[in-house]
A and B are shown apart, each in its own frame.
Chain A
Amino acid sequence: MLFALAGNQNCGKTTLFNQLTGLNQHVGNFPGVTVQAKSGYVRGRADISIVDLPGVYSLSAYSGEEAVARDFLLNEKPDCIINIVDATNIERNLYLTLQLIELDIPIVIALNMMDELYSNGGDVKLYNFQNALGTVVVPVCASRNIGLDKLIDMAVKVTTDNRRCMDKRVYTGEVGNVIRDIYNVIKAKSEAAKISGKFAAVKLLEGDYTVREKLGLSDNEALIANEIILDAQARFKADGKTVISVMRYKFIEDLCRDTVAKGDGRTRKRDEIIDGFLLNKKLAIPMFLGIMLFAFYLTFSITGGVLNELMTSKIALLKNAVDILLIEQKVSPVIISLVNEGVFGGVGAVLSFVPTIAVLFFFLSLLEDSGYMARAALIMDKPFGRLGLSGRSFVPLLMGIGCTVPAIMATRTLKDERERYMTVRMLPFISCSAKLPIYAIFTTVFFRRHRALVMMGLYLFGVLVGMLSLWILKGTDDAEDHIPFIMELPHYRLPRIKNTLLLLWDKIRDFVSRAFTVVFLASIIVWGLKTFGMRFNVVSDSGQSILAYISRGISPLFAPLGFNDWRVAAALVTGFSAKEAVISTLTVLSSTDAATLPAAISEMFSSASALSFMVFTLLYTPCVAAVNTVRCELGSTVAAFGIIVYQTGIAWLCAAFVYQIGMQIYCVI
């Protein structure tokens, strides 16, 4: 049996899905789109699979997610719909419910957050509510795992009995007549297309074009239907959509008046008090910065500390053990090198992202689940709107300071495709933490007294160039196309640890499965380029390797930037596989170690070229893991390649500019 989980955003759908499926979930994308799809099996019921549809407010196709939810319900024809309704927000939630009922698929309503309703002094007369709505309603509390067994049992029962909803007259009087007239025209075609005739008739009156196409009406049928609609609109003196929406909400209001006691709004008052602080004109920004900085501090001290060390030490242990084994077995040194640097290097590279992803997403999910994220997005919306981003872009961009990979993954929360794209385009301009060692060494050697200033200047420069780049990108675009920023402010809630951990597991698994091949392969390739010479023999002098050969070829390109040295070019090339490799490659190729590297650098560079080098590393192509993540999130390999070329081009231009200006200043001085 296939059940579909449908409901508004913030109604506890994800919590319910997690409770039902536990770890038996699988995350992918809905076909053809970059909207995330979660599916899984109900724990203990291997015969029931559940799909978590995107949170939507309606089945009109105004957003990509609504279209996806709708298409799934129309095309995949699940056996039953489980519609989750937030009892503390019942009117707006029922609006979707009425449309789901029109689909004529077996349906069960899960009335969620009953605990909150009760604590507000509210109540629902369940029997009357069920009768008035015409469907089975099961009160649940997803976060406390109450009522879920009954929910599944009822869903199964409704499916096996093939129980349809009792027809409750939502559209009465004249409107009802019009719908019936349209229904008669399209009846045959809707049966053929296996779409509920009633659903299609209502949608046509609403002016929905996609349904029109799906039905494949003949020209004649379309003409008749159109006439009915135009005639009706003239009579009602309003457009079809308004009429339908008004009738739906009227039905809902009447229903709730008789059966739902809303309570005293205790939760609302509590939210208002908290918002009074967090959205206060004077306090909001300081509190916001405080919360972000605190979260960041935690992130870095945990990632940069405990988790990272744990991971690297475990990998090192394993590597040593394998090393010893291979040497005992007298395996060829090339293979040993392959395993040590290539394989372990590759695996290590992929796994090195895991602590960062875990901690950054932990922080992200705390923000989302607590309800604060919506407020943060609200605060940052005005300044960000100017750049074609939205307030919601702020947190992914902030995460970019830590690591670009989870930051790109976090852009999934941006519903607007364009905003998501712009945010992803902005991310490479935000210097990630892997580049810090580069700045650290170079500023120590050349700008010791003004270290902090130079580093801050670099970050700022990156952001400014990024904003310019976005502004240019945005310029070629029609402002009227923008999706209105309508954002619900959810209640403040205590995040559930179980949910958070499941989300983390989800993200890590997601990343590892997608990155593994690409990142691993890149590591092996770099190992190959460093180890072998032009005749594919093993070289002891890295100056004879393929990497060196390639680097000597491209090195002259860096002449206008001030560093025409093959070793530097080689370091930059390896920087594509991981930014940490830039310094390590430079160390190896200059035959130095951590202590003597600074001296070598002071010989390879001048102040001006050091600055241009740092600008170049700041702006050029992100590491292969990040590029791969872009490919996955945007669903386009072309976009991924585009970013590599674009960023490297901009980096070259800016670095050359910086060097040339630097030289001029130097001459004057």
Chain B
Amino acid sequence: MLLKKHDMTLSELKVGECGRIISVTGTSDFKGRLLDMGFTPETEVEVRRKAPFGDPIIVSIRGYQLALRRSDADNIIIEEV
């Protein structure tokens, strides 16, 4: 899949911004876990807040809240909504 110009990674979203998932990259284990947790293509995800030290970030997806390290969020490709 070609990375279009307006695609970005989840870690680039600011607090309060929403994105729609395009794909998840990384090892198959990593991808699998995120897919299991609901990070499927077309799903909306919102960045709720950042931890006091800046990492991890807290996102809201499918009605629940999840904490994710920035290095892992780097692997989630989204388009901003």
- List the interface of chain A (C-beta within 8 A of B): 57-58, 60, 62, 89-92, 95, 206-207, 239, 241-242, 245-246, 249, 262, 271-272, 275, 279-281, 284-285, 374, 378-379, 381-383, 385, 480, 484-489
Across the interface, which residues of A come within 8 angstroms of B66, CB to CB? 486-489
With A241-B28, A484-B33 already in contact, the answer to whether A89 and B64 are too (CB < 8 A) is yes
What are 29 A-B pairs with beta-carbon distances under 8 A?
Answer: A57-B36, A60-B33, A62-B29, A90-B63, A91-B62, A92-B64, A207-B28, A241-B28, A246-B40, A271-B65, A272-B48, A275-B49, A279-B52, A284-B51, A285-B52, A378-B56, A379-B52, A381-B53, A381-B55, A381-B56, A382-B51, A383-B53, A385-B69, A480-B27, A484-B30, A484-B34, A486-B72, A489-B58, A489-B65
Interchain CB contact under 8 A, A241 and B37: no
Closest chain-B Cβ to A479's Cβ sits at a distance in Å of 10
Interchain CB contact under 8 A, B67 and A485: yes
Q: Residue B13 at the A interface, CB < 8 A?
A: no
Interchain CB contact under 8 A, A62 and B32: yes
Main secondary structure of the interface of A (DSSP, over half): helix
Q: Which residue of A lies closest to B41 (CB)?
A: A246
Residue of A57, A245, A383, A489 near B67 (CB, 8 A) is A489
Across the interface, which residues of B come within 8 angstroms of A486, CB to CB? 33-34, 37, 66-68, 72
Interchain CB contact under 8 A, B56 and A485: yes
Interchain CB contact under 8 A, B69 and A485: yes
Across the interface, which residues of B come within 8 angstroms of A382, CB to CB? 51, 53-56
Interface centre among A245, A280, A480 (most CB of B within 10 A): A245
CA distance A485 to B75 in the complex (A): 13
With A249-B38, A489-B66 already in contact, the answer to whether A62 and B56 are too (CB < 8 A) is no
Interchain CB contact under 8 A, A89 and B63: yes
Q: Which residue of A lies closest to B39 (CB)?
A: A245
CA distance A488 to B30 in the complex (A): 16
Across the interface, which residues of B come within 8 angstroms of A383, CB to CB? 53
CA distance A3 to B74 in the complex (A): 41
Interchain CB contact under 8 A, A485 and B68: yes
B13-31: contact bitstring with A at CB < 8 Å (1 yes, 0 no)? 0000000000000011111
- Name 4 extra pairs, CB < 8 A, besides A92-B62, A249-B38, A484-B69: A245-B35, A285-B52, A378-B67, A383-B53
Across the interface, which residues of A come within 8 angstroms of B56, CB to CB? 378, 381-382, 485, 487
Interchain CB contact under 8 A, B52 and A62: no
CA distance A485 to B60 in the complex (A): 16
Across the interface, which residues of B come within 8 angstroms of A95, CB to CB? 36, 38
Interchain CB contact under 8 A, B31 and A241: yes
Closest chain-B Cβ to A561's Cβ sits at a distance in Å of 40
Interchain CB contact under 8 A, A262 and B63: yes
Across the interface, which residues of B come within 8 angstroms of A484, CB to CB? 30, 33-34, 68-69, 72
Across the interface, which residues of A come within 8 angstroms of B30, CB to CB? 484
CA distance A485 to B34 in the complex (A): 11
Q: Which residue of B lies closest to A244 (CB)?
A: B35
Residue of B38, B48, B51, B52 near A92 (CB, 8 A) is B38
Closest chain-A Cβ to B27's Cβ sits at a distance in Å of 8
CA distance A268 to B49 in the complex (A): 14
